[in-house]
Amino acid sequence: MMLSPTRACSPVTFHFRTQLCDDDRTVIDDSKVAGTPMEIVIGNMFKLDVWETLLASMRIGEVAEFWCDTIHTGVYPLVSKSMRRITEGKDPVDWHIHTCGMANMFAYHSLGYDDLDELMKEPKPLYFVLELLRVQQPSEYNRESWALSDEERLKVVPVLHGQGNKLYKQGHYQEATQKYKEAIICIKNVQTKKKAWEVQWLKLEKMANTLTLNYCQCLLRMEEYYEVIEHTSDIINQHPGVVKAFYLRGKAHLEVWNEAEAQQDFSRVLDLDPSMKKAVKKNLAVLTMRMEEKNQEDRDTYKGMF
């Protein structure tokens, strides 16, 4: 059985092996060696979205090898880090260190694994060897939206949106992301039946982007900065006039010490919406302060070394 568009949101279980494109085909990760197969939910905004596309082309029991360019592999180190921590019995997001200055910079730029740090610094094409083990039917997966018609799905979207906003205001960011994702899934299920870039499709796209940006606001609070950059960049690439996407990406770049990128995004915010001047000025002041702090720590650290 192959996955089809109608089976979006189906949980799939699979083994994977990730290899470098070098002469030795160096293995980075192997779920069989780790002893734990991977499970993701198709259409549930998995960070490494190319895996969803690849798995959807496979049949149960099939083993297939795929070569993927850097445009698809840039976030792999983040995914690998989470999977390795789970295999080690650790919290997959417990790597964030709440410090300041230079220590903070190094904390955000290190994933805790030398090979992944190298891949993050210099993304490379990768081979993925996937073995599809199981595909659950929607009826096996407890998701009420599958029982809804398209009309009912669109009616439940504002309800989920409101619930997500309420949870966000209460500081329950993880729970809010689930509500936003549920609403996005409902919209995407309907959108797949529309002709791309026509009026109805664009209306649904705007709704999904609004929810995705709310989702990104939660990720900022949860310190998942690279995922924010990924999702906002996707929106910007398709819709370069979305102010909030530039603003949230700028804040994420600020948090991971990408000074030039943050300044560019905030500058674009002002071009698109001059009324955001006060908020942008505040963020740029924070960025300037942090960079001055880092430069001073650099001077203190290397003083007298040469």
- What would the pLDDT profile of 45-86 be if each residue is shown by its tens digit? 567 888 988 998 899 999 999 999 988 888 898 888 878 877
Euclidean distance between CA atoms 38 and 47, whole angstroms: 14
Question: Given a cut of 50, is residue 230 above it in pLDDT?
Answer: yes
Assess if residue 230 is contained within a domain: no
Question: Given a cut of 70, is residue 9 above it in pLDDT?
Answer: no
Assess if residue 39 is contained within a domain: yes
Question: Given a cut of 60, is residue 139 above it in pLDDT?
Answer: no
- Residue recorded with tokens 């529309």: 194
Assess if residue 90 is contained within a domain: yes
Q: State whether 50 and 10 are in the same domain.
A: yes
Contact call for residues 102 and 95 (beta carbons, < 8 A): no
Which of 76, 108, 140 terminates a domain? The answer is 140
Euclidean distance between CA atoms 268 and 230, whole angstroms: 18
Lowest model confidence (mean pLDDT) among 25-29, 78-82, 175-179, 202-206: 78-82
Assess if residue 81 is contained within a domain: yes
Question: Which helix (H) or strand (E) element contains residue 20?
Answer: strand 11-20
What integer pLDDT is reported at residue 269 of this predicted model?
97
Contact call for residues 66 and 44 (beta carbons, < 8 A): no
Contact call for residues 45 and 184 (beta carbons, < 8 A): yes
Assess if residue 232 is contained within a domain: no
Question: Given a cut of 70, is residue 147 above it in pLDDT?
Answer: no
Q: State whether 21 and 119 are in the same domain.
A: yes
Over the stretch 78-115, which tens digit does the pLDDT of each residue have?
Answer: 888 878 877 776 544 443 333 333 333 333 456 788 99
pTM of the full predicted structure? 0.56
Question: Given a cut of 80, is residue 3 above it in pLDDT?
Answer: no
Q: State whether 9 and 132 are in the same domain.
A: yes
Q: State whether 126 and 184 are in the same domain.
A: no
What integer pLDDT is reported at residue 195 of this predicted model?
85
Q: Percent of the chain, pLDDT > 70?
A: 83
**Structure tokens of 97?**
């260190």
Q: State whether 37 and 103 are in the same domain.
A: yes
What integer pLDDT is reported at residue 188 of this predicted model?
85
The string of DSSP letters for 136-161 reads --GGGS--GGGGS-HHHHHHHHHHHH
Q: State whether 9 and 117 are in the same domain.
A: yes
Mean pLDDT of all residues in 108-135: 87
What integer pLDDT is reported at residue 106 of this predicted model?
35
Mean pLDDT of all residues in 196-224: 94
Assess if residue 26 is contained within a domain: yes
Q: State whether 134 and 154 are in the same domain.
A: no
User: 221 or 294: whose pLDDT is higher?
Assistant: 221
Report residue 239's pLDDT band, with 50, 70 and 90 as the boundaries. very high
Question: Given a cut of 80, is residue 186 above it in pLDDT?
Answer: yes
3-state secondary structure of 129: strand
Q: State whether 151 and 126 are in the same domain.
A: no
Report residue 175's pLDDT band, with 50, 70 and 90 as the boundaries. very high
> What rounded mean pLDDT belongs to the chain?
83
Q: State whether 135 and 165 are in the same domain.
A: no
Assess if residue 121 is contained within a domain: yes
Q: State whether 249 and 288 are in the same domain.
A: yes
Question: Given a cut of 80, is residue 172 above it in pLDDT?
Answer: yes
The CATH number for 247's domain is 1.25.40.10
Range of the domain at 67: 5-140
What integer pLDDT is reported at residue 197 of this predicted model?
86
Assess if residue 283 is contained within a domain: yes
Q: State whether 17 and 106 are in the same domain.
A: yes
Question: Given a cut of 70, is residue 235 above it in pLDDT?
Answer: yes
Which of 122, 140, 158 terminates a domain? The answer is 140
Euclidean distance between CA atoms 41 and 135, whole angstroms: 10
Over the stretch 244-287, which tens digit does the pLDDT of each residue have?
Answer: 999 999 999 999 889 999 999 999 999 999 999 999 999 999 99
The CATH number for 100's domain is 3.10.50.40
Q: State whether 17 and 107 are in the same domain.
A: yes
Number of domains in the chain: 3
What integer pLDDT is reported at residue 146 of this predicted model?
46
Euclidean distance between CA atoms 45 and 14, whole angstroms: 17
Question: Given a cut of 70, is residue 144 above it in pLDDT?
Answer: no
User: 23 or 3: whose pLDDT is higher?
Assistant: 23
Which of 188, 222, 256 terminates a domain? The answer is 222
What integer pLDDT is reported at residue 50 of this predicted model?
87
